[in-house]
């Protein structure tokens, strides 16, 4: 056998068009050698879209994340370009939505195998509401004042008709990035990355004076700087990395102050309130990781990261009410510090060609070393409360995941696994919880046309004794309460997926998933949860020029909880049920071969929420909360030349919703609560885009 292999190798070598080298032989002339199967384009290539678009109506709900919240025209600017030069020099440039507030521009270049440069700019726009009203002046700043005519005994006594002004609740983020990596020698790489992000936004918040409350706008002027430095090694079997990261967060506003819009005779000094805002803080982390390939079938990898979070911003004043004699604080600042440890270990091995095993261990730890102090408390800037103690909460979380894949036959594959999650907490109601989950999956091909995958899982979470945190640290809790994320729970889930090739041109898919949670040991709190979904899809290649796809999905989410108005045994039960139905169809068609491509997508979605509360008495049912959306998208690509096309699209979307919690509730509807008067969103928007696409 050994001899035949040697003869075969010699025969293969003798067939190669090479010359046996000798000491004095000159090197062969390779200047005319050419790889015809792998050509590399030199210079610039890519495509650029330049054009214009128009949005018919202004809507924060429609443009919540896509940047199309303004009505009127906008610039269409997109592109993807690459440069390939001699000696492995290259550039990749990507741009999208340059005419919107969701624009991105990223570039990467350098010399392959030597160094790399990264530049980037990204902008994100989140529009939350454009129907909010407020009488406060100075929205967006750290001090909210009121116009003449305030305060009033109730909202009816306030001059809201003359003072309410519309405002927008939104969030804008801008992120700049720069980075570089250097490969000075084989197997080694050094990298540096820096990112600066600013967040300019307004957020909903509320302030109160005893039983009187007002919705307020919190200013958001955040700045975050993050720097990462790393050294990496990649060898034949070993890969390793050592990195350091630091992130610093800064808030331009320490606190929000606002004038009390209510006249409270019982507390003449409660004229202004104050809320502390997110404090400045920083985070440092050192990361080490490694991976080793023991053989073609076995690999182990591990990483460990040590981190430290700190926060030491000075406390604001306990109250602005000069009539309250508040005792001195035990410290001028929190002096907050929490150390983190995160570690992962993963082992995978293909014991045979049919059997593959995997084991993963994850350890997460937070050691909160913040000093624990007793602080004097102020209740809504009107009364002195009992002292409150801060809780430097710590935890450790250990997760173990074991799994095995076995190829039973050429058509059938089995998989099974066991997951364990053990969490230990300090200063919480439950000290330790253990969650164990077993699961199994089978994937099989019944015939050349039918594939099926079935997965089943069962999990149980058990905790140590539930002991409410003593009073004085937190407000007292009902001893029967069980918080859902620490309560004992049984969870069963199942999923089925079937794909069927009805013909060479038609493929049909069907899926079903179900999950059920049972909190049988919880007398008060969440007692059960259920999530079910059905989905189906069809793809049909009608002709060489036309393809069609359809899909439908239905999901039901249901939960039940019990409570006690009397701070005793359960005396009411609440049930939430959400139902979402979605249907869609799409078509692509080559109207003129190699000249004109057109397409369309239409989607309909209906959602509703029913809330039912039973107290033993005859209670009227809550109205149904509902939402519906109809969306139609048309697009076309017409090639004027081989490298020039006209591209266009049309998007129509109709959204309607009904929510009894908002409808009919104006800013002054509730006598002792000044609200924003937000209404449920409704819109009907048309978006048109036209652009010239140039390929080069």
Q: Evaluate whether 253 touches 236 at the Cβ level (below 8 Å).
A: no
Burial 357-378 (b: 16+ CB within 10 A, else e): ebebbeebbbebebeeeeebbb
Q: Would you place residue 91 in the very low, low, confident or very high pLDDT band (cuts 50, 70, 90)? A: very high
Residue 459's DSSP bridge partners are 437, 491
672-692 pLDDT, tens digit per residue, is 999 999 999 999 999 999 999
**Full DSSP string of 180-209:** EEE--STTEEEEEEEEEEEEEEEEEEEEEE
What is the rounded distance in angstroms from the CA atom of residue 209 to the CA atom of residue 213? 6
| Whole-number CA gyration radius for the chain | 32
Residue 399 confidence (pLDDT): 98
Helices (H), 362-521: none
Q: Would you place residue 26 in the very low, low, confident or very high pLDDT band (cuts 50, 70, 90)? A: very low
What is the rounded distance in angstroms from the CA atom of residue 597 to the CA atom of residue 585? 17
**Full DSSP string of 604-671:** EEEEEEEEEEE-SS--PPPPPEEEEEEEEEEEEEEESSSSEEEEEEEEEEEEEEE-TTTTT--TTSST
- Mean pLDDT of the chain, nearest integer: 92
What is the rounded distance in angstroms from the CA atom of residue 179 to the CA atom of residue 245? 13
Instruction: Detail the DSSP E strand segments found in 369-449.
Output: 374-379, 383-389, 395-407, 412-425, 432-445
Residue 266 confidence (pLDDT): 63
What is the rounded distance in angstroms from the CA atom of residue 394 to the CA atom of residue 365? 8
pLDDT average, residue stretch 535-558: 97
Q: Is the pLDDT of residue 547 over 70?
A: yes
Residue given tokens 């069963």 in the structure block: 492
434-479 pLDDT, tens digit per residue, is 999 999 999 999 988 999 999 999 999 999 999 887 655 667 889 9
Residue 10 confidence (pLDDT): 31
Residue 618 confidence (pLDDT): 80
What is the rounded distance in angstroms from the CA atom of residue 56 to the CA atom of residue 482? 50
Percentage, residues of the chain above pLDDT 70: 93
Closest-CA residue to 271 (of 281, 253, 259, 280): 259
Q: For the purposes of burial, counting CB atoms within 10 Å of the CB of 24, is it exposed (0-12), middle (13-18) or buried (19 or more)? A: exposed
What is the rounded distance in angstroms from the CA atom of residue 491 to the CA atom of residue 484? 13
Sign of the torsion formed by the C-alpha atoms of 208, 209, 212 and 216: negative
The encoded tokens of residue 42 equal 């030199």
Q: Is the pLDDT of residue 9 over 90?
A: no
Measured between alpha carbons, how far is residue 4 from residues 12, 49, 606 in Å?
A: 12, 61, 71
Q: Evaluate whether 105 touches 121 at the Cβ level (below 8 Å).
A: yes
Which DSSP symbol is given to 466? -
pLDDT average, residue stretch 63-85: 97
Which pairs from 117-122 meet CB under 8 Å and 24+ separation?
Answer: 117/179, 117/180, 118/177, 118/178, 118/179, 118/180, 118/193, 119/177, 119/178, 120/175, 120/176, 120/177, 120/178, 121/174, 121/175, 121/176, 121/177, 122/174, 122/175, 122/177
Q: Evaluate whether 273 touches 320 at the Cβ level (below 8 Å).
A: yes
348-369 pLDDT, tens digit per residue, is 999 999 999 999 999 999 999 9
384-417 pLDDT, tens digit per residue, is 888 888 999 999 999 999 999 999 999 999 999 9
What is the rounded distance in angstroms from the CA atom of residue 59 to the CA atom of residue 168? 11
Q: Is the pLDDT of residue 341 over 90?
A: yes
Residue 11 confidence (pLDDT): 35
Contacts of 343 (CB under 8 A, 6+ apart): 302, 303, 304, 305, 362, 363
Q: Is the pLDDT of residue 299 over 70?
A: yes
112-144 pLDDT, tens digit per residue, is 999 999 999 999 999 999 999 999 999 999 999
- Chain-centroid distance of CA 651 in Å reads 26
Q: Is the pLDDT of residue 289 over 90?
A: yes
Closest-CA residue to 606 (of 628, 579, 578, 583): 628
The encoded tokens of residue 421 equal 């999650």
Name the residue with higher pLDDT: 494 or 383. 494
155-200 pLDDT, tens digit per residue, is 999 999 999 999 999 999 999 999 999 999 889 999 999 999 999 9
What is the rounded distance in angstroms from the CA atom of residue 62 to the CA atom of residue 50? 24
CA dihedral 665→615→608→538, nearest 10 degrees, is 160
Contacts of 657 (CB under 8 A, 6+ apart): 625, 626, 627, 628, 680, 681, 682
Q: Would you place residue 270 in the very low, low, confident or very high pLDDT band (cuts 50, 70, 90)? A: confident
565-575 pLDDT, tens digit per residue, is 999 999 999 99
Helices (H), 462-556: none
The encoded tokens of residue 596 equal 């004109």
Residue 72 confidence (pLDDT): 97
Q: Evaluate whether 224 touches 248 at the Cβ level (below 8 Å).
A: yes
What is the rounded distance in angstroms from the CA atom of residue 339 to the CA atom of residue 367? 5
Helices (H), 160-270: 160-163
Residue 328 confidence (pLDDT): 93
31-65 pLDDT, tens digit per residue, is 556 555 555 668 999 999 999 999 999 999 999 99
First-to-last C-alpha distance (Å) of the chain: 56
Q: Would you place residue 1 in the very low, low, confident or very high pLDDT band (cuts 50, 70, 90)? A: very low
Residue 657's DSSP bridge partners are 627
pLDDT average, residue stretch 142-149: 97
Residue 687's DSSP bridge partners are 55, 651
CB-side neighbour CA atoms (13 Å) of 639: 12
């Amino acid at each position: 056998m050994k001899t035949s292999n040697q003869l075969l190798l010699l025969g293969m070598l003798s067939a190669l068009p090479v010359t046996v080298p000798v000491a004095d032989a000159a090197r062969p002339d390779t200047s005319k050698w050419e790889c015809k199967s792998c050509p590399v384009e030199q210079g610039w290539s890519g495509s650029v879209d330049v054009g214009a678009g128009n949005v018919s109506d202004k809507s924060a709900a429609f443009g919540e994340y896509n940047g199309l919240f303004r009505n009127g025209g906008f610039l269409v600017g997109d592109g993807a370009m690459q440069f390939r030069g001699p000696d492995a020099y290259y550039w990749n440039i990507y741009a999208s939505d340059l005419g919107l507030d969701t624009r991105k521009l990223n570039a990467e270049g350098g010399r392959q195998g030597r160094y790399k440069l990264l530049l980037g700019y990204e902008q994100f726009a989140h529009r939350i509401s454009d129907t909010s009203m407020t009488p406060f002046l100075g929205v967006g700043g750290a001090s909210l004042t009121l116009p003449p005519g305030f305060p009033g005994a109730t909202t009816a006594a306030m001059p809201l008709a003359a003072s309410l002004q519309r405002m927008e609740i939104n969030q804008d983020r801008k992120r700049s990035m720069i980075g570089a990596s250097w490969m000075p020698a084989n197997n080694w790489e050094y990298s540096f990355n820096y990112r600066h992000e600013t967040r300019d936004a307004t957020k909903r918040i509320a302030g109160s004076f005893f039983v009187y409350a007002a919705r307020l706008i919190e200013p958001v002027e955040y700045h975050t700087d993050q720097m990462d430095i790393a050294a990496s090694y990649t060898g034949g079997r070993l890969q390793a990395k050592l990195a350091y990261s630091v992130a610093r967060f800064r808030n331009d506003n320490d606190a929000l102050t606002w004038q009390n819009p209510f006249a409270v005779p019982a507390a003449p000094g409660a004229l202004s309130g104050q809320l502390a805002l997110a404090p400045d803080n920083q985070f440092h982390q050192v990361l080490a990781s490694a991976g080793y390939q023991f053989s073609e079938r076995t690999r182990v990898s591990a990483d460990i990261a040590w981190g430290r979070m700190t926060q030491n911003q000075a406390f604001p004043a306990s109250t602005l009410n000069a009539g309250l004699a508040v005792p001195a604080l035990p410290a001028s600042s929190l002096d907050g510090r929490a150390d983190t440890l995160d570690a992962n270990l993963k082992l995978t091995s293909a014991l045979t060609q049919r059997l593959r095993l995997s084991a993963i261990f994850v350890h997460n730890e937070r050691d909160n070393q913040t000093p624990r102090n007793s602080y004097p408390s102020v209740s809504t800037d009107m009364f002195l409360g009992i002292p409150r103690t801060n809780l430097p909460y710590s935890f450790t979380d250990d997760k173990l995941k074991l799994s095995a894949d076995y190829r039973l036959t050429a058509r059938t594959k089995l998989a099974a696994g066991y997951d364990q999650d053990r969490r230990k907490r300090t200063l919480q109601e439950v000290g330790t919880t253990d969650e164990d989950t077993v699961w199994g999956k089978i994937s099989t091909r019944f015939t050349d046309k039918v594939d099926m995958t079935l997965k089943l899982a069962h999990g149980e979470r058990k905790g140590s004794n539930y002991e409410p945190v003593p009073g004085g640290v937190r407000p007292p809790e009902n001893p029967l309460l069980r918080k859902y994320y620490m309560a004992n729970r049984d969870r069963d889930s199942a999923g089925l997926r079937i794909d069927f090739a009805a013909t060479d041109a038609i493929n049909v898919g069907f899926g079903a998933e179900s999950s059920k949670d049972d909190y049988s040991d919880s007398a008060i709190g969440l007692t059960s949860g259920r999530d079910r979904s059905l989905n189906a899809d069809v793809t049909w290649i009608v002709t060489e020029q036309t393809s069609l796809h359809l899909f439908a999905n239905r999901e039901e989410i249901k939960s039940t909880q019990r409570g006690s108005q009397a701070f005793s045994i359960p005396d009411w039960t609440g049930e939430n049920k959400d139902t979402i139905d979605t249907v869609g169809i799409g078509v692509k068609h080559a109207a003129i071969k190699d000249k004109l491509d057109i397409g369309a997508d239409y989607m309909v979605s209906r959602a509703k929420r029913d809330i039912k509360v039973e107290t033993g008495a005859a209670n009227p049912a809550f109205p149904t909360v509902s939402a519906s959306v109809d969306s139609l998208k048309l697009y076309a690509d017409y090639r004027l030349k081989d490298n020039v096309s006209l591209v266009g699209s049309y998007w129509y979307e109709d959204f309607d919703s009904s929510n009894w919690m908002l409808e009919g509730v104006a800013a002054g509807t509730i006598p002792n609560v000044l609200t924003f008067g937000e209404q449920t969103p409704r819109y009907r928007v048309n978006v048109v885009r036209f652009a010239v696409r140039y390929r080069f």
